[in-house]
Amino acid sequence: MDKSNHIYIKVLAVFFLFVLFLTFFSKSIYNYNLPEASIAFPMKGELNHDVEGRAEVTYKNMSDVFPDCEGRVSEVRAASGSYVNEGDVIIVLNKIEEDAKVEVKAPRSGVIIKICVSEGMYVSAVQNESLFQMAEPNGYWRSRMFISDETASILQIGNTASIEIKGVPEDISGTIVSIDSVEKDGVKQYSAAIEFAFENQDIAGKMADIVIGRDGEQFDTILPAYALQKDSKGYFVWTIREESNILGKHYVVHRLSVDLQDTDNTAVLVIGINSDTPIVTSCTEELEEGVRVAYKESENDD
């Protein structure tokens, strides 16, 4: 009886050791096959608020001249780029069903920016199509720089812009006067209109390199820009949480909604996270809610 009990205990011990081995072995294989995520923690620092872009320089005060009757263009007496005086005849129209000519004159002195019609074209006041564009060369200029939606959300009217134009040695300073959105091909685009003064030469049509600067501030929850995700619900980050079950501890990915406060395109300032929250910055596989991962800590970008 004692011998039988002894054998039974040995068999039971071997069985439990075998189960323990299988559990450890299977867990090791499972962990080996897990996606590997790199994590970083929110850091303290400041954002580089310089926004750079390139845009064409145009006259600040531009206007269109429209026809006030129905007719065909019989003469075009001015060319794009020419200077005209107030009252100069720019275009002559033949009125439809009338043997009469209508002279379209410059409403003020200025530069013809663009002739929008040619001889023989039919025009009408109903169509609301411009005959020509002109501008007042008074030393005031405008550039319109296209920007991302994130940049549009953090720029402000009144921000100062530094402007460099090839062939112009002077330092030029401008100001954002408007931030506008327009929908093109179903996609919303944003632009910042910048106005500045420069009287030394005609710079219309030249390309300007523009840098919009903003004062930096110190923040506590800055992340690498590539750690921030966005879907139909808004901005979010992936976090890692330690969880336990019968096989032991493991790490699970969860979605955490955040609010984007600021960005410099390489780093982002968000609210909705703590400084000790581990944030996934990259992963060997695409992530989704509840996925188990192995992880390693990565260095925060400066």
Here the CATH number for the domain that contains residue 104 is 2.40.50.100
Q: Is residue 302 part of a domain?
A: no
Nearest C-alpha neighbor of 81 from the set 115, 107, 113, 110:
113
Whether the predicted pLDDT of 103 surpasses 70: yes
Segment 209-232 shows an average pLDDT of 86
Residue 2: inside a domain, yes or no? Answer: yes
Between 249 and 102, the more confident residue is 102
Mean pLDDT of 243-250: 74
pLDDT the model gives residue 85: 95
Same domain, 40 and 185: no
| Domain range for 223 | 34-47+218-297
Same domain, 55 and 174: yes
Q: Are residues 118 and 157 in the same domain?
A: no
**Residue 11 phi, psi dihedral angles, 5° rounding:** -60, -45
Tokens of 277: 């929250």
Query: Which of 266, 173, 180 has its CA nearest to residue 211?
Result: 173
What is the mean pLDDT of the segment spanning 207-212? 94
Whether the pLDDT of residue 83 is over 70: the answer is yes
**For the chain, what is the domain count?**
4
> pTM higher than 0.85 for the full model?
no
> Do 20 and 43 fall within a single domain?
no
Q: Based on the domain organization, do 154 and 199 belong to the same domain?
A: yes
226, part of any domain: yes
Residues 55 and 182 reside in one and the same domain: yes
Q: Judge if 193 and 289 occupy the same domain.
A: no
The per-residue pLDDT for range 71-82, each reduced to its tens digit, is: 999 999 999 989
In a domain, 182, yes or no: yes
What is the average pLDDT across 73-94?
94
Compute the average pLDDT of residues 10-25. Answer: 54
Domain stops at, among 115, 135, 155: 135
> Cβ neighbours of residue 53 under 8 Å, at least 6 residues apart?
145, 146, 147, 209, 210, 212
Residues in Cβ contact with 298 at an 8 Å cutoff, skipping those fewer than 6 apart: 38, 39, 40, 281, 282
Q: Measured between alpha carbons, how far is 158 from 286 in angstroms, rounded to an integer? A: 42
| Same structural domain, 285 and 225 | yes
Domain containing 236 — which CATH number? 2.40.420.20
* Tens of pLDDT, residues 27-76: 444 455 788 889 899 988 887 778 889 999 999 999 999 998 889 999 99
Q: Which of 135, 151, 170 is the last residue of a domain?
A: 135
- How far is it, in rounded angstroms, from Cα 173 to Cα 14? 82
Looking only at Cα atoms, what is the longest distance across the chain? 132
Q: Whole-angstrom Cα distance, residue 181 to residue 4?
A: 86
